[in-house]
Amino acid sequence: MAFRSGFVCILGRPNAGKSTLLNALAGERLAIISPKPQTTRNRIQGILNIPKHGKRSGAQVILVDTPGVHKPDSSLGRKMMVEVHEALEGCDLILMLVDVTRKLSPEDNFALQLAQRAGTPVFLLLNKIDLVRDKKKLLPMIEAYHGMHDFREVIPLSGLKKEGLDTLLDAIVKILPQGPPYFPEDQITDQPARFMVAEIIRERVLLETKEEVPYATTVVVEQFEEGAKLVRIAAVIYCERDGQKAILVGKGGQMLKKIGTSARLNMERMLGSKVFLELFVKVQPGWRDSRAFVDELDWRRQLEGLIAPPGRAGHNR
Ligand code: GDP
Ligand code: MG
C-alpha cells in the first residue's frame, strides 16, 4: 500500500471549532483556543503522521488552520482573509467545519464559496454533535447542505469529545494523493518557537481580559535567545489606549504578573526548558488599521531568510 501525503485545510467561521479539531487530531496543543473569535490570526500547521492500519495506508497529513472566515473590517481583518486564500491555494482537501448548534449564516455561505472557488474536494464536518441529544435533528441540516455543494463526505463529529475522528482520518487518508512525507516524522509543527511564544502570551491575555481588550492587543517577541540553561524571552504586548494598558498592567502590576507567570509556565512546557520572561505593555494607537504595523507583525516577514522553507522539490507551494 503506497504512502500518502497532502495538505488539508480547515475552513469555517469563527468559533466553529477549527482549532479544537486541529488539536484533537494532532494530539498536541498547537493552535491556541479560546471562546472568543479571531483567536487564530495566522495559519498554524499541525503535522499528523498516521500509521498504516488494517486497510488504511500510512499517511502524513499537514493540517492548515485558518483565521475564521469573516467580512474584513480593518487592515488586520483584510490580512486575515488573505491568509485564508493563501491557505486554500495548493491544498489537497478542504474540511469545511460547521457548528450544528447554530443556524447557517452568511459567513458559512461565504466559507463555502471560498471552497468552491478553490475547486478542491470538500468534506462537510458537522461539529459539536455532543451538544445535540436527538441526532435525527441533524438530518434536515445535512439535506440542506447537500443541496449547496457536492461534498465528498459528510461527517458528524465532536472535536471537543473526540468523537468521529477515526471516520474522518480514514476518509482523509483515502482521498490524499500518493507521495512521500513532506516533513520528518518527529516534527509536529513548522511554526517557529518564537511565534508560538507570542501566541502563548496572547492566549493568556485573551483568557484574563474582557471586552475590547483582547481584540486591541497584539504581541511582539523582541528577544528569543536559547542559552545552555534557559531561554531568555522579552515580549511587548501592544494595545491601543492608555485605559487598556492600565487593565493589562493591573493594580500594582498584578495583572501583568499573572499573565507573565502563566505564560512562562506554558512556554517552559512547550520548550522543555527553563524560561526567563520579560513582559512589557506599550500603547500603539490604531495599530489594527496601520498596514505597516500589521505587516511588521508578520512573523514570516520578521524571520525571512532565517528559516529554510520546507517541502519537496517539484511541489509548488
Ligand atoms: P475556531 O474559532 O473555529 O478555531 O474555534 P475554537 O476551536 O477556538 O472553538 C470555539 C469554542 O467552541 C471553544 O469554546 C471550544 O471549546 C468550543 N468547541 C469546539 N469544538 C467543540 C465540540 O465539538 N463540542 C463542543 N461542545 N464545543 C466545542
Ligand atoms: Mg481558531
Where along the chain do its domains lie?
4-175, 193-306
Would the CB of 107 count as within 6 Å of ligand 1? Answer: no
Please tell us whether the domain made up of 4-175 is placed in CATH 3.50.50.60. Answer: no
Reported as a single tens digit per residue, the pLDDT across 123-144 is 999 999 999 999 898 898 888 8
Tell me what pLDDT residue 233 has. Answer: 94
Task: Report the candidate in 238, 202, 259, 249 with the shortest Cα–Cα distance to residue 38.
Answer: 202
Q: Atom 17, ligand 1: which residue's CA is nearest?
A: 17
CA–CA separation, 136 vs 133, rounded Å?
A: 9
Q: What are the Cα distances from residue 47, in Å, to 7, 204, 245?
A: 9, 24, 37
Pocket of ligand 1 contains residue 218 by CB under 6 Å: no
Q: Compute, in angstroms, the gap from residue 23 CA to the centroid of ligand 2.
A: 10
Q: What is the pLDDT along the chain (317 residues), one digit of tens a residue?
A: 689 998 888 888 778 898 888 888 877 555 555 545 444 444 546 778 888 888 888 898 887 766 555 555 666 666 656 666 666 766 899 999 999 998 877 777 777 777 787 788 999 999 999 999 998 988 988 888 888 888 999 999 999 999 999 999 999 999 999 988 877 666 666 667 777 888 899 989 989 988 778 888 888 888 888 888 899 999 999 999 999 999 999 999 999 999 999 999 999 988 888 999 999 999 988 777 776 666 555 544 443 333 333 333 333 33
d(Cα 126, Cα 140) in Å, to the nearest integer? 12
Q: Is the CB of residue 163 below 6 angstroms from any atom belonging to ligand 1?
A: no
CB 50 less than 6 A from any atom of ligand 1: no
- 29-38 burial, b at 16+ Cβ within 10 Å, e below that, comes to bbbbbbeeeb
CATH fold, domain 193-306, is GMP Synthetase; Chain A, domain 3 (3.30.300)
Residue with the smallest CA separation from ligand 1 atom 8 is: 33
Helix, strand, coil tally for the chain in percent (to 5): 40, 25, 40
Centre a 10 Å sphere on the Cβ of residue 236 and count the other Cβ atoms it contains: 17
Q: Report DSSP state, residue 137.
A: G
CB atoms within 10 A of CB 285: 11
CA–centroid distance, 20 to ligand 1, in Å, is 6
What is the value of pTM for the model shown? 0.64
